[in-house]
């Protein structure tokens, strides 16, 4: 099971940059919190990063976000991006599984999920959305929830469509 900072390390650089850029353009509080955490991890003042040209700043931030110490920050960044930009995908998945939710947010997950229902839901997502985004969502879903579904873990480890970093 990949942690959030590992997800950032394994996803394509283009997708990692898309997530950070989304926060910069659409969620200033999340972006500022991320920038501050990165600055602290690099033992810099946030203003030092803020004054850099955006491409240079984002490259430094993305490199730093792959560190284990920033796992919680990276989890918040991924979660914010998924809940705001991809709530239709989250809703489609939860609806296919028959799980009650509020715009992709679940109060109480079941402790287990039927194999056939899970496979059908994953297949439906992969047919409708870009595979890398589906893979990031499912890895994040699996890692960020208290209730782990062993069949989802097995699917993430065995289905090549859900592999990050060039297929495994």
Q: What is the pLDDT of residues 20-65, one digit of tens each?
A: 999 999 999 999 999 999 999 999 999 999 999 999 999 999 999 9
- Would residue 132 be called left, alpha or beta, if left means φ above 0 and alpha means ψ between -120 and 50 degrees? alpha
Please give the pLDDT value at position 105: 84
Q: Which residue has the higher pLDDT, 1 or 154?
A: 154
Residue 68: both structure tokens together: 């284990």
Q: Give the model's pLDDT for residue 166.
A: 52
**Average pLDDT, stretch 15-24?**
97
Q: What is the pLDDT of residues 108-138, one digit of tens each?
A: 889 999 999 999 999 999 999 999 999 999 9
Q: How far apart are CA 146 and CA 153, in angstroms?
A: 13
Over residues 70-96, mean pLDDT: 95
Q: Which of 96, 167, 35, 69 is nearest to 141 (CA)?
A: 96
**Average pLDDT for the chain:** 93
When pLDDT is cut at 50, 70 and 90, the band that residue 167 belongs to is: very low
Percent of the chain exceeding pLDDT 70 equals 98
| Closest C-alpha among 59, 67, 68 to residue 21 | 59
pTM: 0.91
Residue 101 has pLDDT above 50, yes or no: yes
CA distance 132 to 17: 14
pLDDT at 147: 81
> Residue 69 pLDDT more than 80?
yes
How far apart, in whole angstroms, are the C-alpha atoms of residue 107 and residue 120?
A: 23
Q: What is the pLDDT of residue 168?
A: 38
Q: Where are the domains positioned within the chain? A: 4-84, 87-162
pLDDT of residue 95: 95
pLDDT of residue 2: 85
């Amino acid at each position: 099971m990949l942690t959030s900072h590992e997800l950032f390390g394994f996803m394509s650089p283009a997708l990692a940059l898309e997530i950070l850029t989304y926060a910069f353009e659409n969620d200033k509080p999340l972006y500022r919190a991320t920038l501050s955490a990165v600055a602290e991890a690099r033992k810099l003042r946030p203003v030092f990063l803020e004054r850099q040209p955006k491409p240079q700043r984002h490259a430094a931030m993305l490199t730093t976000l792959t560190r284990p110490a920033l796992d919680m920050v990276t989890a918040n960044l991924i979660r914010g991006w998924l809940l705001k930009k991809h709530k239709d995908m989250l809703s489609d998945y939860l609806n296919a599984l028959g799980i009650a939710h509020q715009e992709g947010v679940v109060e109480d997950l079941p402790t287990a999920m039927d194999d056939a229902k899970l496979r059908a839901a994953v297949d439906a997502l992969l047919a409708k959305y870009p595979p890398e985004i589906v893979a990031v969502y499912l890895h994040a879903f699996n890692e960020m929830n208290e209730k782990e579904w062993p069949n989802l873990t097995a699917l993430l480890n065995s289905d090549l469509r859900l592999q990050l970093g060039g297929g495994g």
